[in-house]
Structure 1
Amino acid sequence: MGERVCFLMHLRPELVDGYLEAHREVWPEMLEALTRHGWRDYSLFLRKEEGLVVGVVTSDDFAASLAGMDGEPVNTRWQATMSRYFRKEDGSRPDEGLERLDEYFHLA
């Protein structure tokens, strides 16, 4: 089964439409890198009014999956492209500020 992870990210509400447009065609090399580093059953959900993104992913080892993506040049380019859409005051990349949630119940 692997490790199920849920996380939050925060968009700038006035830029949500551009963020959604960018995700209509995620770069094939980005999708391949995510798959190669163990990201499975990955979904993003949005509460548009607030710019709240909820991500859900399964991975055998999420820390290793994040570390693997950190070393991918395509991820560096993707994060640079996406950074303008996020409320990040400290200048960090969007994937460095994932707010992981604790799972406390699961009905399989």
Structure 2
Amino acid sequence: MTRVCFQLSVSPEHLDEYRRRHAAVWPAMLREIEASGRRNYSLFLRPDGLLIGYYETDSVEASDAYLEASAAAAEWEAHMGDLFDGLDGRADQAATPLEEVFNLGDQLAALGE
């Protein structure tokens, strides 16, 4: 399993709309995220627009390829695109991945606990 964390920037003037759209994500998009192999998917939004996303998957490449080929994902990303700062293309493909530098479970496992 791979843990993925990424960041994007939501335009501060669009924060309320971003929250509103994510309060009821389209059922087809929810199913596509699940079908892509992503689990434990969460988004966190700071008041200045910093967006941090996290998910787990068995294959980042397979998950990305699945969503890249998904018509529902393309439609959702087009629907969301106007809410981001400095976005060129689809948010799911332009997000900046963050390096994982600590995981409690991994370190405890290494200790044999």
**8 Å CA contact 2:81, 2:87 repeated in 1:** no
TM-score, normalised by the number of residues in structure 1: 0.93
Structural mapping, 1:88-107, within 5 Å: 88-90=86-88, 92-107=89-104
TM-score, normalised by the number of residues in structure 2: 0.89
**8 Å CA contact 1:83, 1:94 repeated in 2:** yes
**8 Å CA contact 2:87, 2:94 repeated in 1:** no
- Please give the root-mean-square deviation of Cα atoms over the aligned residues, in Å: 0.9
Q: Which has the larger helix fraction?
A: 2
Alpha-carbon distance, 1:93 to partner:
1.3
Identical-pair percentage:
38
Q: Which moved more, 1:81-90 or 1:17-26?
A: 81-90
Give the one of 69, 76, 79 matched to 2:77.
Answer: 79
Between the two proteins, the alignment pairs up a number of residues equal to 105
Residue number in structure 2 paired with 1:38: 37
**8 Å CA contact 1:88, 1:94 repeated in 2:** no
Residue number in structure 2 paired with 1:8: 7
Does structure 1 residue 56 correspond to structure 2 residue 20?
Answer: no
Deviations 1:22-75 (A, max 9, x none): 011111110101111101000000112x20000010000112101110100001
Larger Rg: 2
Following the alignment from structure 1 to structure 2, what is the Cα–Cα distance between the partners of residues 28 and 47? 25
Following the alignment from structure 2 to structure 1, what is the Cα–Cα distance between the partners of residues 21 and 37? 23
Q: Which consecutive unaligned segments of at least 5 residues does structure 1 have?
A: none
SS in 2 for 1:79: helix
